[in-house]
Chains A and B, each alone.
Chain A
């Protein structure tokens, strides 16, 4: 059994389905003994722009993604597992985790209080190694504050190319 504490909000309990069950969607209820964590009150929105902006409740866990155990990862099928719907002081929260084998590839809130569920930013991040690439682009994000820096930048090349 593998326990994930997602976003510090919702304890989601998962177990690996046996071989032959890969690809199934499993709904697993949280055990009664699992302690519920208090959800902090959302912070006030930044003023004026945009009126709806604000912080999602913060995670208190320093790690943003727990590694799945390495054993028993026989297959790479994608599975989506929903955690239990949990009533918090802020509303009902439910999280869905997508796994590729035992590796988490996505987490989203399927129910979240006071927000559009698909747009809620949960502080669970993907971690990867930094890679360099070149590609066809329209513009570049990244500080080019000085004139000299700009002259040598990719953005200058793009601006001058057309």
Chain B
């Protein structure tokens, strides 16, 4: 049975397009995302993230889930020389850049464990796919054109893979360079294709934080293919990018 559902969770519109599953299974995935929001939101004073940031919990007292998230934050911070960070000086601990992709990938894992084999999960423009929407066809994932909201800049064909995009659209700059604390410049849109959304999403955000240096940095990440638009509207793409010919 096919199920489609859209809900606002973790501050994001989350859409699920489940081709072989039931409403109860979709409900479990959304329940997990709501749980993550309670536990990991830096905006909820009672969350594990806030309690840890205030020193009420030690690292040893954290749940394995948060340890995993913080370990990912640390790895990408080190790999980018601090451009990507969950700890911008003078601000509260904010692991959201990792939590989103990590949590949505876990939601997709829940759908798989529940028996679903063909679905597409989209959280604020970050996508996890499973199987094929119909036999012989990949999920067609359009990448939004950075300047034209109703247009695409490329269409990707993805089976059992994740696609994440970090971009500056009309809302202005929202990614800071952790080395300077200032808004990042150099890139307009970074799309990363990987097997896992935690990797795709964090790689896209970290590349964005590196500015132009992020082009080569992202392309060098193992098992990641990139589609990057710089400020000059030049496109940089990996030879392995799964471009769907329409």
Number of interface residues of A (CB under 8 A): 61
Residues on the B chain within 8 Å of A133, using CB: 151-155, 246
Verify if A111 is at the interface (C-beta below 8 Å from B). Answer: no
User: Across the A-B interface, how many residue pairs have beta carbons closer than 8 Å?
Assistant: 220
Question: In residues 119-148 of chain B, which contact A (Cβ within 8 Å)?
Answer: 120, 122, 124-127, 129, 133, 139-146, 148
Q: State whether A135 touches B220 (Cβ < 8 A).
A: no
Nearest CB of B to A107, in Å:
6
Q: State whether B124 touches A143 (Cβ < 8 A).
A: yes
Verify if B50 is at the interface (C-beta below 8 Å from A). Answer: no
Q: CA A158 – CA B6 in complex, angstroms?
A: 11
Question: In residues 36-79 of chain A, which contact B (Cβ within 8 Å)?
Answer: 43-50, 52-59, 62, 64
Q: CA A153 – CA B126 in complex, angstroms?
A: 14
Nearest CB of A to B35, in Å:
19
Verify if B149 is at the interface (C-beta below 8 Å from A). Answer: yes
- Tell whether A55 pairs with B164 under 8 Å between CB atoms, given A129-B235, A135-B155, A138-B139: no
Q: State whether A135 touches B224 (Cβ < 8 A).
A: no
Q: CA A144 – CA B13 in complex, angstroms?
A: 7
Residues on the A chain within 8 Å of B173, using CB: none
Query: What residue in chain B is nearest A63 (Cβ atoms)?
Result: B216
Q: CA A56 – CA B171 in complex, angstroms?
A: 34
Query: What residue in chain B is nearest A114 (Cβ atoms)?
Result: B222
Q: State whether B236 touches A107 (Cβ < 8 A).
A: no
Q: CA A141 – CA B12 in complex, angstroms?
A: 13
Q: State whether B120 touches A127 (Cβ < 8 A).
A: no
Nearest CB of A to B206, in Å:
10
Q: CA A162 – CA B79 in complex, angstroms?
A: 42
Verify if B150 is at the interface (C-beta below 8 Å from A). Answer: yes
Of B17, B198, B217, the residue contacting A49 (CB under 8 A) is B198
Residues on the B chain within 8 Å of A147, using CB: 8, 13
Residues on the B chain within 8 Å of A54, using CB: 222
Residues on the A chain within 8 Å of B85, using CB: none
Verify if A33 is at the interface (C-beta below 8 Å from B). Answer: no
Verify if A123 is at the interface (C-beta below 8 Å from B). Answer: yes
Residues on the A chain within 8 Å of B122, using CB: 139-141, 155
Of B127, B133, B140, B234, the residue contacting A127 (CB under 8 A) is B234
Verify if A159 is at the interface (C-beta below 8 Å from B). Answer: yes
Q: CA A45 – CA B203 in complex, angstroms?
A: 13
Residues on B lying within 8 angstroms of A by beta carbon are 4, 6, 8, 11-13, 15, 17, 68, 71-72, 74-76, 79, 102, 105, 120, 122, 124-127, 129, 133, 139-146, 148-156, 163-167, 169, 171, 189, 191, 195-196, 198-199, 202, 215-217, 219-226, 228-229, 233-240, 246
19 contacts between A and B (CB under 8 A): A47-B68, A47-B75, A49-B198, A55-B221, A56-B221, A125-B237, A126-B237, A128-B234, A130-B153, A137-B152, A138-B17, A139-B139, A141-B142, A142-B191, A144-B124, A145-B125, A147-B8, A154-B142, A154-B152
Residues on A lying within 8 angstroms of B by beta carbon are 43-50, 52-59, 62, 64, 106-108, 115, 119-147, 149-150, 152-156, 158-159, 162
